[in-house]
């Protein structure tokens, strides 16, 4: 839906001006999002070196040998007592758990890791270790239906620690966005005997405006309604209906696509993001795994206003200053094999 506002513009000698904005409804869930203020908010550069200065760095529980003394260990039962490790990645129980099984992957040895320093190994080791943990949890407690990976990267994202880390948890309550999608996808399947996401990919590939590209059998696109101020990109894993269907090859494709997005972010001064990857319950065929990534920024670095305000908190309404079609066009070249 297009909305028009006309006022006398103080920037142009009070001549009348008409500003166009949009309200979109997600075709699956009906959840709406506002699009306005186009181009008015630019991501702010972060001085990453500052995070290494002692007075800013403060106490980091994930740095050096300290992680062995101040992070929790698993009790006997889920696996051998202790922690899990792969390459630089170390998986530990979350000291502040969100659910029955809540873990953190400390991704790197380094405290500050720029997007260009995330190589395939660092990303692969972290994702595959976290997913292995979730698979073990599934074996142990198969009645917990859903699994979630969530990642806050750098302070504008709301992450409390600069040191790269991801969260992995199994849950019956994966959040309202997930729950709404899940219910709507189930009804869609019931009504059309086909899964919504497969249809979405077909449709978006045909239209091309929001479709970004394919990495193996994974599909990357700009969401029709963006969850973030600076847009949102999602990756769908068609046919991957539960965690056990998610193979090593899927991890590699996710990492490969993600690094292309990081290249785009680096070119566009995006220094921070929220990301999630989630899986539906075993036995269903309407909710394939999908990944979302949303850039985050301070609105300015004078008073560090965040890019979330009453819209997102009390109205629960996303607002975006980037049209998904423009984002799709901009990111597409990064997915062309060169
Ligand atoms: Zn650290």
> pLDDT tens across 161-180, in order?
999 999 999 999 999 999 99
Question: How far is the centre of ligand 1, averaged over its atoms, from the C-alpha of 64 (Å)?
Answer: 7
Residue 74 — pLDDT band, cuts 50, 70, 90? very high
Question: How far is the centre of ligand 1, averaged over its atoms, from the C-alpha of 14 (Å)?
Answer: 53
Burial (CB count <10 Å: 0-12, 13-18, 19+), residue 82: exposed
Question: Mean per-residue pLDDT for 205-231?
Answer: 97
Name the average pLDDT for the chain.
Answer: 95
| Alpha carbons 10 and 195: distance in angstroms, whole number | 50
Residues with Cβ < 8 Å from 85, sequence gap 6 or more? 91, 129
Q: Which residues surround ligand 1, an ion (CB under 5 A)?
A: 60, 62-63, 111, 163
Question: How far is the centre of ligand 1, averaged over its atoms, from the C-alpha of 123 (Å)?
Answer: 17
Question: How far is the centre of ligand 1, averaged over its atoms, from the C-alpha of 62 (Å)?
Answer: 5
Q: Model pTM?
A: 0.96
**C-alpha dihedral (97, 307, 177, 170), degrees to nearest 10:** -20
Question: Mean per-residue pLDDT for 88-98?
Answer: 93
| Alpha carbons 259 and 293: distance in angstroms, whole number | 12
Question: How far is the centre of ligand 1, averaged over its atoms, from the C-alpha of 110 (Å)?
Answer: 7
pLDDT at residue 78 in the model: 81
CA angle 228, 208, 285 (to 5 degrees): 75
Question: Mean per-residue pLDDT for 97-114?
Answer: 94
Question: How far is the centre of ligand 1, averaged over its atoms, from the C-alpha of 111 (Å)?
Answer: 4
Question: How far is the centre of ligand 1, averaged over its atoms, from the C-alpha of 52 (Å)?
Answer: 9
Residue 16 — pLDDT band, cuts 50, 70, 90? very high
Q: Which of 90-104, 120-134, 258-272, 280-294 has the lowest mean pLDDT?
A: 90-104
């Amino acid at each position: 839906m297009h909305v028009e506002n006309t006022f006398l513009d103080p920037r142009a000698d009070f001549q009348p001006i008409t500003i166009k904005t949009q309200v979109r409804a997600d075709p699956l869930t009906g959840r709406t999002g506002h699009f306005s203020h186009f181009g008015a908010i630019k991501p702010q550069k972060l001085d990453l070196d500052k995070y290494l200065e002692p007075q800013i760095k403060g106490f980091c529980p994930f740095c050096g040998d300290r992680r062995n003394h101040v992070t929790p260990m698993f009790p006997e039962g889920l696996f051998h007592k202790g922690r899990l490790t792969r390459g630089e990645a170390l998986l530990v129980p979350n000291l502040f758990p969100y659910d029955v099984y809540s873990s953190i992957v400390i991704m790197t040895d380094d405290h500050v890791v720029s997007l260009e320093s995330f190589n395939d190994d660092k990303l692969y080791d972290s994702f595959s270790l976290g997913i292995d943990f979730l698979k073990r949890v599934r074996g142990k407690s198969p009645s917990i239906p859903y699994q979630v990976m969530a990642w806050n990267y750098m302070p504008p994202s709301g992450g409390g620690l600069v040191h790269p880390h991801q969260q992995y948890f199994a849950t019956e309550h994966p959040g309202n966005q997930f729950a709404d999608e899940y219910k709507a996808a189930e009804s869609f399947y019931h009504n059309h005997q086909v899964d919504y996401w497969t249809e979405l990919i077909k449709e978006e590939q045909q239209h091309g405006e929001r479709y970004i590209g394919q990495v193996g059998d994974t599909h990357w696109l700009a969401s029709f309604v963006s969850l973030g101020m600076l847009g949102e990109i999602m990756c769908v894993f068609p046919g991957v209906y539960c965690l056990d269907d998610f193979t090593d090859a899927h991890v590699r494709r996710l990492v490969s696509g993600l690094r292309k997005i990081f290249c785009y972010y680096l070119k566009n001064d995006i220094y921070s993001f929220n990301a999630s990857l989630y899986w539906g319950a075993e036995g269903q065929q309407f909710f394939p795994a999908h990944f979302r990534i949303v850039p985050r920024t301070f609105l300015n670095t004078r008073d560090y206003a965040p890019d979330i305000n009453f819209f997102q908190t009390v109205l629960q309404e996303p607002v975006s200053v980037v049209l998904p079609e423009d984002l799709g066009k901009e990111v597409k070249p990064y997915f062309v094999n060169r």
